[in-house]
A and B are shown apart, each in its own frame.
Chain A
Amino acid sequence: MVSKTHAIEILSILITSVVLGYIGLIAGINLIAVDTPPQGSLHVKVIARQFYWTFQYANGSKITFPNGTTRTYPTGLTIENVLYAKAGDVVDLELVSMDVAHSFFIYELGVHIDAIPGHDNHYWLRADNPGQYKIECTQFCGTGHYTMIGQLIVSP
């Protein structure tokens, strides 16, 4: 026969475990959902090198330029230092470095992600307001570190 005090102890452990387990499950499921970019997002591989950025758009990318034209590139497109996006569209970034550690930083959008040699970092962002945003490297990467500046141009 379990005494009343022991019953309370066992019950409290069980209830706490179930509650924590449930919250952990929700956190895990939502974290996976939040980290997965929505379907149809623009996939861009960002290659960091001393001392510039290269943006490789995936095959079949549809890019909107600041003059309002939209073009589709069946075999992809590679551009240096300028990243084009359309306001409200999700850009799925894949960051990698070819030499030393760099850091991709857009102050206005609160985007800050490392580019590490031999390791791909995935990150998505959505610029809601059209305009030009400065892309900086915030990881000291060599003598030309301060020149490693790119631009994100968001078209309406």
Chain B
Amino acid sequence: MKPHSEGLFLRLIALAVSLVWFLSFPSAFAQSSQVAAEWALFNQILMIGIVVGIVVFGLLFYAIIRFRERPQKLGEN
């Protein structure tokens, strides 16, 4: 990885981490009872989990397909 793209990658990670952190707060704390707040928090974490899961596993499957080692054909070598 080139130094320029490495810096960009780190900045993207920092952005994702802070976005997840700050997005998990607002609506849960605006609720008018503890149960409603807990449900709101659950929904937020669920949504964040789904988005993060899609991104992480998407990247993972991409890496597996892109960089997999193909078995050597018989007769090679």
Contact = CB atoms under 8 A, between A and B. Distances in A.
A109 B32 contact: yes
Interface of B: 17, 20-21, 24-25, 28-29, 32-38, 41, 45, 48-49, 52, 56, 60, 63-64, 67-69
A5 interface: yes
A23 interface: yes
A38 B29 CA distance: 10
Nearest to B45: A27
Q: Is the interface of A mostly helix, strand, loop or mixed?
A: helix
A33 B21 CA distance: 14
Q: How large is the interface on A (under 10, 10 to 19, 20 to 34, 35 or more residues)?
A: 20 to 34
Contact of B52 (A19, A27, A110): A19
A31 B38 contact: yes
B41 A30 contact: yes
A7 B11 CA distance: 23
Interface in A1-28: 3-5, 8, 11-12, 15-16, 19, 22-23, 26-27
Given A23-B52, A110-B35, 16 more contacts: A4-B69, A12-B60, A16-B60, A23-B20, A23-B48, A26-B45, A30-B25, A31-B41, A34-B37, A35-B34, A110-B33, A111-B35, A125-B32, A125-B34, A126-B33, A127-B32
A22 B25 contact: no
12 contacts: A5-B68, A15-B60, A22-B17, A27-B24, A30-B41, A31-B41, A34-B28, A110-B33, A110-B35, A123-B34, A124-B33, A127-B32
Given A5-B68, A12-B60, A26 B21 contact: yes
Q: Which 7 A-B pairs have the closest CB atoms?
A: A125-B33, A34-B37, A126-B32, A12-B60, A27-B45, A26-B24, A124-B34
Interface in A26-69: 26-27, 30-31, 33-35
